[in-house]
Structure 1
Amino acid sequence: MDRELDRRRFVQITGAAGLGALAGCLGDDDEPAAENGDENGGENGEESENGEDEETEQEVPDPKATENALIEPATLKEWQDAGLVNLGQLDVRDRVTVLRVWDTETYEDGHVPGALKWAPDEFHAARTEGLGEAAPMVADGAQMDEVLQRSGVCPRTTIVLSGPSALRTARAYWTLRYWGFPRERIKVLNGGYNAYGEEYELETGGEPDAPAATFSVQANGELNNDDRLGIAQMIQRVDLKQAGERDDVFLDNRPDPDATISTAIIDDPANYHKGDSYSTKFAEGGHWKDADAIESHIFGLDDVENGDTIVTFCGSGYRATMGYFVLDGILGYDDVTVYDGSFSRQWADYDGNNTEGNVPPEDWRVDLNDRTDGDTGDSDLEIVVDEIPDLASADANQIEVTDAAYMAGEDTESDDGDGGDGGGDWGCDSIAPPAF
């Protein structure tokens, strides 16, 4: 069987026809000509009076033009040396913001130079979906905008995630992707800041100043809502597969579950990374395997083929994003999605074993119709909706409805800019460089 992936190479996107709608990733078509400040220098390509070739413009690396979303410390160092990291001017074609995805208490002990804080509790939330509240679910739009604005993110910013934990950086990556960021604008530092510190000097002390912006996820145009499933959508996917009307692959990214969603394939995310633990704070836990190894593993699993629709899930929605990241971010695989609520924090609560009497109606129960393999145990769902929605209705997927409304500019106070690529939109005009 041919398992050769048609990988999407992360090439530079600069004004190609038809791609202008990818808000937040395109710059002006024409690069400004470099000025020759040397009076003795000739025109570009000519010799100066001393007979030596003059270089009239410096080549600046394009942070979008990496093979995939995974970068090594040397690549980030090149961007730092070129002055792209935490650049004070927001209206330039390409600038880089490094986010340290880890607890903030240890920030001053060491971080990539110029890195800004993004605490794990800022990219998840307790939210109502289906019949009740669940956590940790994807962060809402206001949470995202707060982080992006204080970090100086603008339409032409590339975000580098530098946390030490593969588990948390994957969740951060997926969160940005869901909120409309293109692959080309999100990078994961392989090995995190610890790996960077093995090759270069880490910075200690307080957080540097960052140029503030009023950028909103609204600039991205629309949600990547195909990258996330809610509880009602997941129940329907299972039913359709059982009926032979879909052939989705369900990857359970837990190492040894007692019960799982029907027909799921167990795939421990330890298969995707190097080191003893993907949640460790040490460098070995943050290293991912390369694309060839990941491709060979995933498409070597029984009943998994290139071209399948792949749904990842786990206990809480975190390990599931590791499966998502290796497929979307490293392999460039387009047909992968995350069941956000996942098994332990949501799915298992929708059974008939609720000790508080909040038993879902039969259409919603996961212990019926061969939806679950194994015993879900006791559950504690609290039904909070006034009316039970139909599984197929928008009312059953409240998170997507709410987030789509936010992206459309409803229920938000941000009205700066139109989401286009102009440097002045979203507060992304030129300001003085920060001091750090």
Structure 2
Amino acid sequence: MLKLFKSIVALLMVLILVGSVVGCTSEPTAQEPVVESEEQTEEITEELVVEDRGYARPESLVSAEELNNMENVIIVDFRDATLPGGYIPGAIKIGRGEQFAEIEGVANMLPDKEIIERLLGGAGISNDDTVVIYDGDNGLWAARLWWTMKVYGHEDVRILEGGSDAWRDAGFRTQMTADSLEATTYTAKEANTTMIADLAMIKESFDNDNLVVLDTRSEGEWNDGRVPGAVWIEWTKALNADGTFKNANELRELYESNGITENKEAIMPHCRAAVRSAHTMFVLTELLGYENVRNYDGSWIEYEKSGEAIEK
């Protein structure tokens, strides 16, 4: 009897030992990968939400980190020529005044394509180059050169978001002087007139609600005089406090709430010399995907000279 009791106790101890071993080995291996996978998914999802701002053509904007890793790219420094140093390594210099022409007494207008061919070819830029432009003014001047190059058919031209400040803040090195490239032969296309508004179109907007004049100047300039019926949205409204662009939803709300919608026949931004308005055109076309935007080349310089009515 005692021998039978000892056998039963021994059997029970074996069963308890086996059960505890199985329990310890199987439970964690079943749960651990699931928890780890969920955490990884959350991290990836959060990262994508931060980076994707809903832009129509996100490739038109380049971050400092992206530019630092890009190969086979022409970097154009389009800052004020009087600024010392601060050049991104490898960048070439193009002077701001070289992209302007005086036409029929109106300064700062688009030059003929032959001038653009000499300008870009002389700088060493070829038609099939990827070009990234930066400035020190939150993309303001970079957008003007972007527009000029797009008008004359350059396919791959982009803007460094945040400009030289973003490059410096990222901790990347700079150099004291610009680089130079061997001159090339650049062949511009005929000017794409669907990207340009003229005085005749501005006057036509007086009696056509489908043609919208968009004033991108400062509030002081707006109050001093404006095109009759124009909508005022200063170019800086598209930017965050750090100089980066607002996301697509914020931009869409900004413009659509003021009647700047995709269904218009033409949206015609202007400023004083089609610089700030080029920045707004970049926002509307590249970030929001509008296809009906024409930068008013003559802008306020031409309009004020024209003798047409000025609203106050």
What is the rounded CA distance, in whole Å, between the counterparts of 2:98 and 2:275 in structure 1?
14
Asked if residue 225 in structure 1 is aligned to residue 193 in structure 2, the reply is yes
Tell me what 1:299 maps to.
256
What is the rounded CA distance, in whole Å, between the counterparts of 2:207 and 2:251 in structure 1?
28
Q: How does 1:79-90 map to 2 (within 5 A)?
A: 79=70, 84=71
Tell me what 1:106 maps to.
83
What are structure 2's unaligned runs of at least 5 residues? 1-53
Tell me what 2:125 maps to.
153
Cα RMSD between the aligned structures? 2.1
Asked if residue 347 in structure 1 is aligned to residue 303 in structure 2, the reply is yes
Pick one of 135, 140, 162 that aligns with 2:134: 162
TM-score scaled by length of structure 2 = 0.75
Pick one of 121, 142, 150 that aligns with 2:114: 142
Tell me what 1:321 maps to.
278
Judged with a 3 Å threshold, the aligned counterparts in structure 2 of structure 1 residues 76 and 306 are, in CA distance, closer, same or farther, namely same
Secondary structure of 1:270's counterpart equals helix
What is the rounded CA distance, in whole Å, between the counterparts of 1:310 and 1:262 in structure 2?
15
Verify the 8 A CA contact 2:195 2:295 in the aligned structure 1: yes
Instruction: Name the aligned partner's letter for residue 145 of structure 2.
Output: A
Secondary structure of 2:214's counterpart equals strand
What is the rounded CA distance, in whole Å, between the counterparts of 2:152 and 2:141 in structure 1?
17
Asked if residue 175 in structure 1 is aligned to residue 148 in structure 2, the reply is yes
Verify the 8 A CA contact 1:253 1:314 in the aligned structure 2: yes
- Shift of residue 239, structure 1, vs aligned partner: 4.3
- Shift of residue 99, structure 1, vs aligned partner: 0.4
Instruction: Name the aligned partner's letter for residue 216 of structure 1.
Output: T
Secondary structure of 1:346's counterpart equals helix
Tell me what 2:237 maps to.
271
Secondary structure of 1:260's counterpart equals coil
Instruction: Name the aligned partner's letter for residue 75 of structure 1.
Output: E
What is the rounded CA distance, in whole Å, between the counterparts of 1:231 and 1:327 in structure 2?
21
Q: How does 1:396-415 map to 2 (within 5 A)?
A: none
What are structure 1's unaligned runs of at least 5 residues? 1-6, 11-66, 85-94, 276-283, 352-365, 375-436
Q: Deviations over 1:6-44 (max 9, x none)?
A: x8854xxxxxxxxxxxxxxxxxxxxxxxxxxxxxxxxxx
Q: Deviations over 1:362-386 (max 9, x none)?
A: xxxx13xxxx423xxxxxxxxxxxx
What is the rounded CA distance, in whole Å, between the counterparts of 1:8 and 1:188 in structure 2?
14
Verify the 8 A CA contact 1:68 1:330 in the aligned structure 2: no
| Matched residue count | 254
Verify the 8 A CA contact 1:122 1:139 in the aligned structure 2: no
Tell me what 1:116 maps to.
92
Instruction: Name the aligned partner's letter for residue 197 of structure 2.
Output: L
Instruction: Name the aligned partner's letter for residue 113 of structure 1.
Output: P
Tell me what 1:69 maps to.
60
Q: Deviations over 1:277-320 (max 9, x none)?
A: xxxxxxx4x5332333222211122x332322211112222221
Instruction: Name the aligned partner's letter for residue 62 of structure 2.
Output: I
Percent identity, please: 22
Instruction: Name the aligned partner's letter for residue 239 of structure 2.
Output: H
Tell me what 1:262 maps to.
228
Secondary structure of 2:284's counterpart equals helix
